[in-house]
Chains A and B, each alone.
Chain A
Amino acid sequence: MNDLHRQPGMLALELEGLGFRHRDQVLLRDVNLRLPSGSRTIILGPNGAGKSLLMRLCHGLLQPTWGRVRWAGSDIQRAEAARLRQAMVFQRPVLLRRSALANIEYALSLRGLGRRARRARAIEALEHFGLGHLAARAARVLSGGEQQRLALARAWALEPEILFLDEPTSALDPAATKAVEDAVMDFHRNGTQIVMTTHDLGQAHRLAEQVVFLFQGSVLEHTPVEGFFSRPVSRQAQAFLAGELVW
């Protein structure tokens, strides 16, 4: 799976002067980032820093007030087709009132896959995430951990080139959290670029190659993970890592 031919560099996610205003409040300002294809980026920051907002802008779910998001050579806001090559896993998985298998098949049908191919790939994805025995079960009656794994399996079946994850483990127990982390690394091994937010610093340390630190809507740091945890530059990041409340 995921053996799409890619040209590294071409697929980098580039944010240019990105900003977002809601009513009179500027929630995100002047974000300039370049996240290379195939990389693992963790976005850190206190509550309300704009992490989820930044990912939604990157995924094209929201329109920026200023600037733009460029991916695969096109402006994500104007290219609906580009979003079909991406996937997003949310904090609380949204699953349809149908079987686990049908949830994945639904997503694949939007990619124009035929019935046979849909079924085969959906089963493969379920089995990859250890959900094969739950294929016929209604998605809504699965446990929280199983639901999140199903959301990951759905994303997996789509073979995204970039996967956004918005605090995917914040409501899960340690075992389910580990399953999600393993899945993230699995995606990465298959060449999928990862962009994820989390409040779990240990998790950030385990999963990140690079860290983007957001504070009050601005990017204060964008560094390799080791540098961020051992030598944070900004006062805010130091306070954040020390567990002190930053305003």
Chain B
Amino acid sequence: MPSGDNAFMTALQLIVGLDQTLVGIVLLSLQVSLGAVAIAAVLGLPLGAAIALWRFPGRGLLITLLNAFMGLPPVVAGLMVYLMLSRAGPLGSFGLLFTPTAMVIAQCLLVLPIIAALCRQVVEDLWQEYEEQLRSLGTSRGRAIPTLLWDGRFSLLTAVLAGFGRASAEVGAVLIVGGNIDGVTRVMTTAIALETSRGDLPLALGLGIVLMLLVALVNGAAYLVGESARRRAG
């Protein structure tokens, strides 16, 4: 069994040498997590804004549920999607279990409540400030949704990044619905768990380093874009 130092050196060689297995796993991870965040943002941002703007019976319950689901354990989300997609499940006929699509669905389920709940808070605060002016101008509530989402774009970027953080860090959901099949559904987190338990520390460590770098890169890029835009827009 390699020592920690050796494992670290081998890991760096894998990264620098663009090891095929490693690159494949990294690309699939990005595809799944970014896909899930994109879908969750498209659904979650308008949903959060709508909950912020409309008053309806059961609204408090919905907000509580949304907030509670921010802490949904990934394995439970995975289990729920597994039950839906398994052969005997209601969506079993689509044959999605153990595919990247299933993994996107599971991560989407994890990310959506985070984006929607944070978005609701952002938009509700903005609406407090804007309501009279927008209503005076003749903005309907429906029309106010894109307006407020655009005006809250800097805060909402943070909400989306929080969602990406959760998606890229979780292992339970993708493991259950993806199955960690080599070359098909193996992503960084599931691979790290597997390789560590198998004793292949270099690959696990290499993946861990890449994962952290990628998360830092995405957040750094978002921060730079957000800050320069914020300076221009005030």
Contact = CB atoms under 8 A, between A and B. Distances in A.
Most buried by A among B130, B136, B139, B143: B136
A153 B150 CA distance: 22
Contact of A107 (B129, B137, B150, B234): B137
B132 interface: yes
20 contacts: A56-B132, A80-B138, A83-B138, A87-B136, A88-B133, A90-B132, A93-B133, A94-B132, A94-B133, A97-B153, A97-B234, A98-B151, A106-B137, A106-B147, A107-B137, A110-B138, A140-B233, A140-B234, A141-B233, A154-B137
A230 B77 CA distance: 76
A68 B217 CA distance: 59
A10 interface: no
B135 interface: yes
Contacts of B147: 96, 106
A97 B233 contact: yes
B136 A88 contact: yes
B176 to A, nearest CB: 42
For chain B, give the interface size range: 10 to 19
Contacts of B133: 88, 90, 93-94
A138 interface: yes
A40 interface: no
Contacts of B139: 110
B232 interface: yes
Interface string A135-169: 00011110000000000001000100000000000
A111 interface: yes
Chain A interface secondary structure, helix, strand, loop or mixed? mixed
Interface string B169-209: 00000000000000000000000000000000000000000
A145 to B, nearest CB: 16
Interface in B119-155: 129-130, 132-139, 143, 147, 150-151, 153
What is the interface residue range for chain A against chain B? Answer: 20 to 34
Nearest to B136: A88
B234 A59 contact: no
Interface of A: 56, 59, 61, 80, 83-84, 86-88, 90, 93-94, 96-98, 106-107, 110-111, 138-141, 154, 158
The secondary-structure label for the interface of chain B is helix
Contacts of A96: 147, 150-151
A88 to B, nearest CB: 4
Contacts of B129: 94
Contacts of A139: 234
Contacts, number: 53
Given A88-B136, A141-B233, A158-B137, 7 more contacts: A59-B136, A61-B135, A84-B138, A97-B153, A97-B234, A106-B137, A140-B233
A175 B143 CA distance: 36
A86 B139 CA distance: 13
A69 to B, nearest CB: 15
B184 to A, nearest CB: 44
Contacts of B136: 59, 61, 83, 86-88
B111 to A, nearest CB: 25
A64 B75 CA distance: 53
Contacts of A93: 133
A110 B142 CA distance: 12
A32 to B, nearest CB: 25
A139 B151 CA distance: 12
Contacts of B130: 94
Interface string B199-234: 000000000000000000000000000000000111
B147 to A, nearest CB: 7
Which of A83, A94, A141: most chain B Cβ within 10 A? A94
Nearest to B232: A138
- Which 3 A-B pairs rank lowest in CB-CB distance, beginning with the nearest? A140-B234, A94-B133, A141-B234
B124 to A, nearest CB: 16
A17 to B, nearest CB: 24
A110 B153 CA distance: 21
A14 B139 CA distance: 25
A110 B137 contact: yes
B208 to A, nearest CB: 39
Contacts of B232: 138
